[in-house]
Structure 1
Amino acid sequence: MARKSFPILKQLIQQSTNRCFTSTVSPRAVTLIPGDGVGPLVTDSVEQVMKAMKAPVYFERYEVRGDMKCMPEEVIDSIKKNKVCLKGGLRTPVGGGVSSLNVQMRKELDLYASIVHCFTLPGLPTRHEDVDIVVIRENTEGEYAGLEHEVVPGVVESLKVITKYCSERIAKFAFEYAHVNKRKKVTAVHKANIMKLADGLFLESCREVAAKYPEIQYEEIIVDNCCMQLVSRPEQFDVMVTPNLYGNLIANTAAGIAGGTGVMPGGNVGADQAVFEQGASAGNVGNEKILKLKRANPVALLLSSAMMLRHLEFPSYADRLETAVRHVIEEGKFRTKDVGGDSSTQEVVDAIIAALD
């Protein structure tokens, strides 16, 4: 089997060598979903920064709430047309049979790969230094896909579906990401000692793909040991590839180690579309106090929007935005409460805009 090319990954490289700015490029349309809770606050932050640096993008805004029964068809059509979406957090009701719009969107658009980049930022105190982990998670099947039903009253059956096709596809994506971004190691996370068939199939696919990338170190780790290793020696991990549910847990753990969910960027990508959003779970999406005081951390979504700019092949704008964000964090004068400060969202945004130049 030949190595498969993933053109989308060429735009996700973390640093650009092209630093010239041009005003001759055609602006790109981006679907914007502000979301629930603090979502509109942080998406507004992105809009302000994009306007300040005259980024060649414009937004098509759609109001979507997490308690809707389904994602509006016009929103899906917009993402299919524009190929790119930026979204705030969508609250998923607990229980009650209401399915997650986030999961619906990933299935509808076949956004099969979740990318969460967890890294320590200079100036931001953390328990561990030099953390730089990319969690790549299969997004369309497994327990997290929500395939469950009530067999009889009081008995619920939840299905974990693992296929060769999806396992191989996400493994190829992870190794190609590592190759393009000059990463040295890929770690497959599993529970094949218990789920011998399902996770065994996932591991089998990872091993087959790993053989095509002899220059990249490959290792495997059981998910419970992985959690312990993450909190004790996170610097040992580089790129991690996981089934759906494990990846959600691992990404949030890695984000907490590296500085918190408020500063971790991410995106969900497929063959044709990409949706960029806060990398790890938006824990404060429904925090009424944070919303009332307007103190939500905009950094995660700003860094996600830098990923989006790079994906749109505007690397110089992405570099400029990332440099400004890093400068403000390292300086330490303007930070929201979740990262040890007392600044408002707008104060952080104003500082980043001032740092653009």
Structure 2
Amino acid sequence: MTHTITLIPGDGIGPEVSRATQVVLEASGVKIDWEVQHAGAAVAETQGTTLPNSVLESIRRNKVALKGPIGTPIGKGFRSVNVTLRQALDLYANVRPVKSLHGVEPRFEGTDIVIVRENTEDLYAGLELIIMPGVAQSIKLITERSCTRICEYAFDYAERLGRKRVTVVHKANIMKLSDGLLLESFRKVALKHPKIEPAEMIVDACAMQMVRNANKLDVIVTENLYGDILSDLGAGLVGGLGIVPGANIGHEAAVFEAVHGSAPDIAGKGLANPTALIQSAVMMLHHIGESTAAQKIDRGLISLYERSEIRTADLGGSSSTEEFTEALCKAVATA
């Protein structure tokens, strides 16, 4: 079966890591017809927008997209492409597995958690205003609908992957109405999933727990802002943003992406580590039912990272993007 998938290469190192990921996917045996669409800072210069309608139309048509890192011009009035994609396509669940990769020296060995972040509202809804000179206000938007569906997604995910616990992270001790609504929704959803242990934790206590015993949290479900911060903290536990995958899931479409930046300072130099986007592509393969190919790439990555001679510069090595990709393809072929 051939899958038609939207590819957004992105800015900076985006085209390099996207090409590397395409090559690795091809080595796994999966058949993909790529529909390439462009978005980001480079597109803004020629089209006056960072996200042309053709990109959204392509994703709606194909239902699945793989996206490299994208830059947003600062101080020019452009909205974040990532935020716009999530809101326009109602990609309400941001899923970030945080797992130690064999052979990469992490801060904490054996970390294996998943952060499920509500993706469409909270302070990221962008509802801001100037009340008077020198006084700005941001409105924290929380709805029962969004709280319920993100909690349902987290519990369904935990059941599907054989997880034991879902931990809701909140600040309802202070924000009793908004975060209280998340907590109330979580408790109602938990009653429908008796096989999964529910747990509740205040966000600051969660941050401390993540650097003491992250695995106790298992699957975290939380709001947009908290999830954004905790996801990057989680990446730091296992070796950095260069190896952590991410996905944005909705009922009608899904976008899989590298969560690191576009790193324009090293663009075109062959220094980029494509692991994050490759791991995101592995999530994508599972999503489209190509688990055999996904498992081959997983085994190839483990095999490659267990051999210390193949490393990109971000992990202390000297291998180029191309050298890493070639070595991974060989490892996938024999996985």
Which residue in 1 is equivalent to 2:240? Answer: 260
Matching residue within 233, 236, 239 for 2:213: 233
Matching residue within 286, 305, 323 for 2:263: 286
Pair 1:193–1:126, CA change in 2 (3 A) = same
The answer to whether residue 94 in structure 2 is matched with residue 114 in structure 1 is yes
Kept in 2: contact 1:294–1:344 (CA 8 A): yes
Which residue in 1 is equivalent to 2:191? Answer: 211
Deviations 1:33-68 (A, max 9, x none): 011111111001011122333321121111212473
Count of aligned positions: 328
Which residue in 2 is equivalent to 1:301? Answer: 277
Kept in 1: contact 2:16–2:268 (CA 8 A): no
5+ residue gaps, structure 2, are: none
* Amino acid in structure 2 at the alignment position of 1:340: G
* Amino acid in structure 1 at the alignment position of 2:127: L
1:172-211 maps to which residues of 2 (within 5 A)? 172-211=152-191
Normalising by structure 1, we get a TM-score of 0.88
Matching residue within 229, 248, 255 for 1:249: 229
The answer to whether residue 290 in structure 2 is matched with residue 314 in structure 1 is yes
- Residue 183 of structure 1 deviates from its aligned partner by 0.1
5+ residue gaps, structure 1, are: 1-24
- Residue 112 of structure 1 deviates from its aligned partner by 0.2
Pair 1:232–1:95, CA change in 2 (3 A) = farther
- Residue 70 of structure 1 deviates from its aligned partner by 4.8
Which residue in 2 is equivalent to 1:48? Answer: 23
The answer to whether residue 33 in structure 2 is matched with residue 87 in structure 1 is no
Kept in 1: contact 2:10–2:40 (CA 8 A): yes
The answer to whether residue 53 in structure 2 is matched with residue 78 in structure 1 is no
- 3-state SS, counterpart of residue 246 of structure 2: strand
Identity %: 44
Kept in 2: contact 1:66–1:101 (CA 8 A): no
Kept in 2: contact 1:151–1:157 (CA 8 A): yes
* Amino acid in structure 2 at the alignment position of 1:320: K
Kept in 2: contact 1:112–1:270 (CA 8 A): yes
Matching residue within 332, 335, 344 for 2:311: 335
Q: Calculate the aligned-residue CA RMSD, in Å.
A: 1.5
The more displaced of 155-164 and 334-343 is: 334-343
Cα distance in 2 for residues equivalent to 1:138 and 1:105 = 14
The more displaced of 58-67 and 305-314 is: 58-67
Kept in 1: contact 2:105–2:238 (CA 8 A): no
Deviations 1:318-347 (A, max 9, x none): 111111111111112211122222211111
* Amino acid in structure 2 at the alignment position of 1:322: D
Normalising by structure 2, we get a TM-score of 0.94
Cα distance in 1 for residues equivalent to 2:319 and 2:20 = 14
- 3-state SS, counterpart of residue 306 of structure 2: helix
Deviations 1:175-197 (A, max 9, x none): 00001111001111111111111
Cα distance in 2 for residues equivalent to 1:45 and 1:152 = 50
